[in-house]
Structure 1
């Protein structure tokens, strides 16, 4: 299924810019990215792009609900996966692994306390070299 990135941006009231399209194209393949990783990737094909432009695009895309960010291992990470899941930060490998768990009871408990989560991010720090394949 091909995603129309320009239409995705327009639906959220955003201006369609080459920089935003490039950031989404980099992230759409999945995974977790730091701003520096996205910048390095884009610099190969867009030599005039600046790091501040990448971070401005990431901030705009996050505010529009297209991507989300979380902190792990002293960095901010960005991902396009918006549904609630667990991000496992592998301290020994430096990787981040998505784990699908039913977070419904956590959401329900929060809502019972009057908390309406906008972005449910669960970060687990672990040693992953001994982890079973997820």
Structure 2
């Protein structure tokens, strides 16, 4: 991850590294801002909400992480690859890992690029259960 930060010319700070570490820990849950902030407060009690918010925003803008909205809440994930997120009634969001689905998503990206002339930045599919 430090390599990605260096490539993007983003200064490596303890706060940024802690945010990334927490995102990696919470990746399977697609955490909200509040979940990330509360998790970081456990080890860095003096960190401000704005520091966490600004760093998450920077990481999203530079394509290091991805954010999406679900039911009025911004969620974050590390994976940039096309995949399906399954949202359950209890607000848990998990990745569907299925080779057939991944091939279909790659084909959708290819069709949009080649046949429709649309350059895809990312593909996010959210399915509610």
Tell me the distance in 2 between the aligned counterparts of 1:85 and 1:97: 10
Structure with a larger share of its residues in helix: 2
Give me the TM-score of the superposition, normalised by structure 1. 0.83
Cα drift, residue 6 of structure 1:
3.4
Tell me the distance in 2 between the aligned counterparts of 1:99 and 1:67: 18
| Alignment correspondent of 2:8 | 12
Establish whether residue 114 from structure 1 lines up as the match of residue 108 from structure 2.
no
Query: What's the secondary structure of 1:76's corresponding residue?
Result: strand
TM-superposition CA deviations, 1:66-97 (whole Å, max 9, x none): 1101111221110011111011111x221001
How many pairs does the alignment contain?
Answer: 121
RMSD of aligned Cα (Å): 1.3
> Structure 1 stretches (4+) deviating beyond 2 angstroms?
5-8
* Runs of 5+ unmatched residues, structure 2: none
